[in-house]
Structure 1
Amino acid sequence: MDPTANEIASANEQPANRQPALPKRRPKPAPDPEKAAHLVRRLNDLLSASDHFGRHAALTPEEKIAKLFLASAEDKAKSDFNCTASDDVRRQVPLLFQAIAGVMEENCGLMIQSSAEINIEGFGRGLLYSGRVILVMKSLRAGFPFPFTSLDKTVAYGVACVEEGLAFLEKYKELTSVHGLLSLEG
């Protein structure tokens, strides 16, 4: 072994042949199963609405999402390599934000709207808003976190956005309880 490695190891009080332990990551909590089921149902409904001839009507919701929504590993590798977003990935962004808005509507009773866009270079944004109040704003840089290639990651991201928006909405409702949420006069 190199003598300088032994000196450095003795200075750090670690054996030279052992590398320092990496910090352990905390496991991410599982998304709320009820909200996850609602998100899968909403996403499935949106995909069914665009299936004009019912070609995929016999598929289960998970199979339909895998076939019509999720990006392939090739799309992900291509977008990771040169930061461009394919047409499939560019269709994925607004669909997911529409599904998230639908789940938020079910949970809060207000009309939630979505606006999402991504350009060919992978830059864009996703907004969820109600009236004049922006509840969730996500920036997309080089397409990240899109494209989604697994249903679990899609659901985890969607449920996290739903919970973030509902928490902000609840906080905002408390602060503006005198005037109401949508009738602020500026």
Structure 2
Amino acid sequence: MEPMANEHAALQDKGNTEAPAMRLRSRKVRKELNQETADALVRRLCHLLDAGDFFGRNAMLPPLEKIGKLFLATAEDQNQSEFNCAVSPKVRQQVPLLFQAMAGVMEERTGLMIQSTAEINGEGFGRGLLYSGRVILVLKSLRAGAPFPFTSAEKTIRYGVECIEEGQAFLDKYKVMTSEHGLLSLEG
């Protein structure tokens, strides 16, 4: 039998106890978002968008509508990014804004000064960093602009919250390790 036929037969076998396990492993389980962190990220992102809205034309919009209008990429922007591996201006705007918003949320949570750096070249290769002093908390590589451009607020918020949680987890682990061995034992 062909491999596809074997898989299909295994999934249809009701007496086989491995069939449900095979289906569960193939699905990617999404973790529940921390709503407090998501709200803080939306608020920070809206503040950054307001700073760029010089005449306040969009100041009265609700937060998610403001993000949709000023931050999210349209289908045209996405097509422009996919053509000849060129990065659209929308992607060049999204990358630093999102990393700045994530840094602001982490500053609120940790009380430390968190900085962000994001760079992306014309072909979409680059990186985004969140760091505090000499400690890099989050490092994301951008290849062909992926995961940017974001076209939905849900994906944007999920990506941001996951990065914030990753950075906070690393910072907590770093604090535990340096408390036992001293700060200089982990450097150099």
TM bin (shorter chain)? 0.7 to 0.9
1:136 aligns with one of 135, 138, 144: 138
Q: What are the Cα deviations for residues 90-133 of structure 1, in whole angstroms up to 9, with x where unaligned?
A: 01100000000011111111000000011111011000000010
| Gapped regions of structure 1 (runs ≥ 5) | 1-7
Matched, 1:116 2:114: no
* Counterpart residue number, 1:168: 170
Q: Secondary structure at the match of 2:91?
A: helix
Task: Normalising by structure 1, report the TM-score.
Answer: 0.84
Where does the alignment leave 5 or more consecutive residues of structure 2 unmatched?
A: 12-21
- TM-score (norm. length: structure 2): 0.83
- Give the 3 Å change call, closer, same or farther, for CA 53–177 of structure 1 in structure 2: same
**Could you tell me how far apart the structure 2 residues matched to 1:86 and 1:41 are?**
25
- Give how far 1:20 is off: 7.4
More displaced 10-residue stretch of structure 1: 20-29 or 129-138: 20-29
What amino acid is aligned across from residue 35 of structure 2 in structure 1? P
Is this contact kept in 2: 1:173–1:180, CA < 8 A?
no
Q: Which has the larger radius of gyration?
A: 1
Residues 14 and 71 of structure 1: CA distance in aligned 2, closer, same or farther (over 3 Å)? closer
Superposition pairs of residues 1-186 of structure 1, within 5 angstroms: 8-9=1-2, 14=5, 23=23, 24-177=26-179
Count the aligned residue pairs.
175
Q: What value does the CA root-mean-square deviation take over the aligned residues?
A: 2.6
Structure with the higher helix share, 1 or 2: 2
Matched AA of 1:85: V
Q: Could you tell me how far apart the structure 2 residues matched to 1:180 and 1:65 are?
A: 43
Alpha-carbon contact 2:137-2:167 (below 8 Å) kept: yes
> Could you list the per-position Cα deviations for residues 113-170 of structure 1 after superposition, in whole angstroms to 9, with x for gaps in the alignment?
0000111110110000000100000000000100000000000000000000000000
How far off is 1:83 after superposition? 2.2
Task: Judge conservation of contact 2:103–2:116 (CA < 8 Å) in 1.
Answer: yes
Could you say what secondary structure the match of 1:159 adopts?
helix
Q: Which moved more, 1:40-49 or 1:78-87?
A: 78-87
Q: Kindly indicate whether the alpha-carbon contact (under 8 Å) linking 1:39 and 1:100 is maintained by their aligned counterparts in 2.
A: yes
How far 1:79 sits from its partner (Å)? 1.9
